[in-house]
Amino acid sequence: MSKQTKNLTSTQDTSIDLDAEFQASNIQEVLDKLDRELIGLIPVKTRIRETAALLLVDRVRKKLELSAGAPSLHMCFTGNPGTGKTTVALRMAEILHRLGYVREGHLVSVTRDDLVGQYIGHTAPKTKEVIKKAMGGVLFIDEAYYLYKPENERDYGAESIEILLQTMENNREDLVVILAGYKDRMDKFFHSNPGMRSRIAHHIDFPDYGADELVAIAKLMLASQNYSFSTAGEEAFGKYIRLRMKSEHFANARSVRNALDRARLRQANRLFSGTKKSLSKTDLITLEAEDILASRVFLESASDIEPKTKNKK
């Protein structure tokens, strides 16, 4: 038996405990963190777990000299604002680092303005500087479709795209690029840039949150800041969310965060202007219904209904 045959037989007889490899990687810690940070998003979390499993198995295969080439890890996250895309990108960077697919595991988040210059010779240095910062980690490009503006002949976004394409192909083992944005616009972007589409292996769609999920997100946000709703306050916030979701500019968790900031402002004003001079811890941490119901969302809703009511008379 030749030496090569002996080595192959030895490799085939070797076994690896996949569960032990999983525990040693500590990626369960990251997945648990993702579950704590984000309400719902079951399809998204499932895809992230599947990707983590793929990378773990690929790493085990390498140990048995069963390399199939580096998997393509560039991704596209599509969905409306406030659906958790940046948070998932952060956790994905951690997973990639713990499994050894990127050296540092940091996330560099940018938009068009960080990549594209305003005059000839300005774009290449800007794009290359961003890529340099992101090397060894993940480059997250939000609203990536703004890089491509075919209606403007003097736009320099195409130059940035070309540099990104070269980097994504030549540095696959040192950089992962995640593009993000609205699904319909990303589809048009890929249609106009087939080279970019061919380099993206993983497409993950982020669904909008339901009203109950948004209330749960609000409670999670408040708890992280040592606040909470009263029973009536939580009920009022549920009504607020259902009205706010009808707005054209509703942005899921981002809108929830902004609403809570305004509610805290109204609570502080209520406490400061009130007659009660001695405040308990409960007073300081509790958002009441009146802190929510004072929102202009309720006033706008009432004004929309009032003319209809008058017309019926």
Number of domains comprising the chain: 2
If asked whether residues 108 and 194 sit together in one domain, one would say yes
Closest to 157 measured CA to CA, from 165, 168, 148 = 148
- Supply the CATH number for residue 290's domain: 1.10.8.60
DSSP string, 71-85: PP--EEEEE-TTSSH
Last residue of a domain, one of 176, 206, 236: 206
Residue 89 burial class via C-beta count within 10 angstroms: exposed 0-12, middle 13-18, buried 19 and up:
buried
If asked whether residues 228 and 195 sit together in one domain, one would say no
Is 187 part of any domain? yes
Amino acid at 290: E
Whether 9 has a pLDDT exceeding 80, the answer reads no
Domain that holds residue 300: 211-312
Is there a contact between 73 and 172 (Cβ–Cβ < 8 Å)? yes
If asked whether residues 95 and 162 sit together in one domain, one would say yes
Is 3 part of any domain? no
> Considering just the CA atoms, what is the radius of gyration of the chain in Å?
25
Is 82 part of any domain? yes
If asked whether residues 37 and 98 sit together in one domain, one would say yes
If asked whether residues 103 and 240 sit together in one domain, one would say no
If asked whether residues 240 and 179 sit together in one domain, one would say no
Is there a contact between 130 and 163 (Cβ–Cβ < 8 Å)? no
Last residue of a domain, one of 206, 224, 257: 206
Is 4 part of any domain? no
If asked whether residues 188 and 217 sit together in one domain, one would say no
Q: What is the pLDDT of residues 186-226, one digit of tens each?
A: 999 999 999 999 999 899 999 999 999 999 999 999 999 99
Q: What is the pLDDT of residues 154-189, one digit of tens each?
A: 788 999 999 999 999 998 888 999 999 999 999 999
Confidence of residue 20 (pLDDT cuts 50, 70, 90): confident
Q: What is the pLDDT of residues 109-140, one digit of tens each?
A: 999 999 998 888 899 999 999 999 999 999 99
- Supply the CATH number for residue 152's domain: 3.40.50.300
Q: What is the pLDDT of residues 139-151, one digit of tens each?
A: 999 999 999 987 7
If asked whether residues 137 and 276 sit together in one domain, one would say no
If asked whether residues 293 and 144 sit together in one domain, one would say no
